[in-house]
Amino acid sequence: MSVISLLGLLIVVIYTAYGMASLPIELIKGHRNVRLERGDIQNRQEETRQKIKAIRDKYGRGKKMSNRDASTIATLEESEALMERQERHLGARDTCCQRCLIVLRPFAIVFGILLILVAILVFLSLLLTNIDKTLANGLGPKSGYMLKKRTLPNVVDIILVFCQQAFPLDYVLFGLLTFYLVFSSMAGIKNIGIWFFCLKMYKMRPHRTRPQGVLMMCMILMLALLGINIILYELTPQYTSFGNQMFWGVTGPNSTSLEKCTFDMQAQVLKDECIQSRMSMLLSRFFYKMWFFGAAYYWATWLFLLFILVGFVVAICKKSKSAIDGEVEADDIDDSSDEELLQH
């Protein structure tokens, strides 16, 4: 189980981290204007036709064309055919209904800003948890960098523990956090595609994804869920272990006080007074008996944080996506059914 979870965590490091960064940036940037993009393609079509005409005008009747010019014309004609298909798809998008959707742009921008704030909150909480483990509070690599007691202010963990007082508010927030990580994974798969080492196997495209690609995406998401399980434990160590459970601790000869249940307690108190969650118990036992996995989870979390930063830089530097992003590619089949529908 730990081996499969580690594989899922590597998927989370690649896809979920980039999805957390790219999803809000894409919502804020939006897509290119349909009319402007269509006009740009029409201009490029005219330039391509002029280049083809100029090359053909060099050769009179009966004069044989050189192999270099013939190859150039073939490349230009393929580019022209691709632009014609793009222009047809953009023409189908230039409708009154699509223009009315412009009024929703402010909501998309606001939603993107909210997702950026959530990503920053998750990033800072994970960073503080890892720093807490690195300091003296952590038990070191031989115990899987297990956190005895949270000392640095982890905002996500504090909010969830506090919301347990108003059932089921903590369940709602925890469910939304889980869905956010799952949707980020799906966004990462859509933007990156499915790769095998350095070979791109499948693209995730609307109505054009191959069945094998859909099956691979489902398998990746199943593995990512196991990795998200680890990330949630790293993100909310107190909430996923003991929550807001309290016990009466002895502070003096004749005095007691309420204290939070943590791993930094005597074994007898931990056994009799505090109930540990099953997920936390399973992971903590793995950390002690097979410390390699706990250490791997710890360092993978640092990679996750690094990939989030890299993802933000890449997403900000990338241009806005086309209005027909993913609909038309150079390797598509020209006589597909949707092309025929657009032509008619």
DSSP assignment string, 161-222: HHHTTSTTHHHHHHHHHHHHHHHHHHHHHHHH-EEETTEEEE---TTT--HHHHHHHHHHHH
Closest to 1 (Cα-Cα) out of 234, 219, 279 = 279
Q: 158: number of CA atoms within 13 Å, CB side? A: 12
Closest to 304 (Cα-Cα) out of 315, 296, 293 = 296
Total residues found in the chain within this entry: 344
Q: Which two tokens stand for residue 183?
A: 């949707």
Euclidean distance between CA atoms 132 and 148, whole angstroms: 10
Closest to 271 (Cα-Cα) out of 242, 298, 291 = 242
Q: Which residues on neighbouring strands pair with residue 246, listed in sequence order?
A: 260
Euclidean distance between CA atoms 5 and 3, whole angstroms: 5
Identify the pLDDT of residue 308.
Answer: 94
Euclidean distance between CA atoms 87 and 84, whole angstroms: 5
Euclidean distance between CA atoms 301 and 232, whole angstroms: 11
Euclidean distance between CA atoms 20 and 182, whole angstroms: 10
Q: Provide CB contacts within 8 A for 331, sequence distance 6+.
A: none
Measured CA distances, 344 to 42, 84, 93, 333, 338 (Å): 20, 15, 15, 17, 10
Specify whether the CB–CB gap between 127 and 120 falls below 8 A: no
Closest to 228 (Cα-Cα) out of 24, 3, 5 = 5
Identify the pLDDT of residue 178.
Answer: 93
Identify the pLDDT of residue 245.
Answer: 83
Specify whether the CB–CB gap between 158 and 167 falls below 8 A: no
Quote the DSSP letter at residue 250.
E
The residues of the chain scoring below 50 in pLDDT are 334-344
Name the residue with tokens 């890892």. Answer: 130
Closest to 339 (Cα-Cα) out of 328, 325, 330, 326 = 328
Q: Provide CB contacts within 8 A for 199, sequence distance 6+.
A: none
Euclidean distance between CA atoms 284 and 132, whole angstroms: 17
Q: Which two tokens stand for residue 310?
A: 């890299």
Closest to 122 (Cα-Cα) out of 54, 178, 38 = 178
The number of beta carbons lying within 10 Å of the beta carbon of residue 119 is: 22
Collapsed DSSP state (helix, strand, coil) of residue 66: coil
Here the contacts of 272-278 (C-beta below 8 Å, separation 24 or greater) are 273/247, 273/248, 274/242, 274/245, 274/247, 275/242, 275/245, 276/241, 276/242, 277/240, 277/241, 277/242, 277/243
